[in-house]
Amino acid sequence: EEPKFQSFIGMVIAFNALLMGMETDIIWAGWFYIEQVLLTIYVFELCVLLKRWGLYFLSCRNPDIGWNSLDFAIVVSSVLDSWLFPGVTLIQKALAGDDHNHKHHDSGGANLGQVMMLMRMLRLMRILRLVKLVK
């Protein structure tokens, strides 16, 4: 975990926090694309860490198991929400060809959306971890 890499990730997280605040006040279609770039960076970071540490990354013997588990859950849930679920929905719509199932999925969508927003906010907790690593 190079200090330069950790500093870069810290800046990405800080930028993401700023972005989340701006999203609440400014309506702009471009936020989606910026979020996708940020998610790609988070996925890259997770892949680098998993490549470097292997199974030890999520091992109970690892003293950072709590932080690592949180990072893993946040990134995986974000990938599911941003990339996998929309793809599955498109395939379902293409195969079904009707809007009857669309109404059913929307009823639970608000709750899922709220959970995903909470997971995005949990990313901000990673700043605390980075501050710990800098000390």
The predicted model gives 114-130 an average pLDDT of 75
Q: How confident is the model at residue 120 (pLDDT cuts 50, 70, 90)?
A: confident
- Kindly state the DSSP code that residue 81 receives in the 8-state scheme: I
pLDDT at 27: 94
DSSP string computed for 86-114? HHHHHHHHHHH-SSHHHHHHHHHHHHHHH
The predicted model gives 67-92 an average pLDDT of 90
- Kindly state the DSSP code that residue 42 receives in the 8-state scheme: H
**Percent of the chain residues past pLDDT 70, beyond the cut:** 83
Rounded Cα gap, residues 85 and 91, in angstroms: 10
Q: How confident is the model at residue 99 (pLDDT cuts 50, 70, 90)?
A: low
The predicted model gives 19-41 an average pLDDT of 94
Specify the pTM. Answer: 0.79
Q: How confident is the model at residue 33 (pLDDT cuts 50, 70, 90)?
A: very high
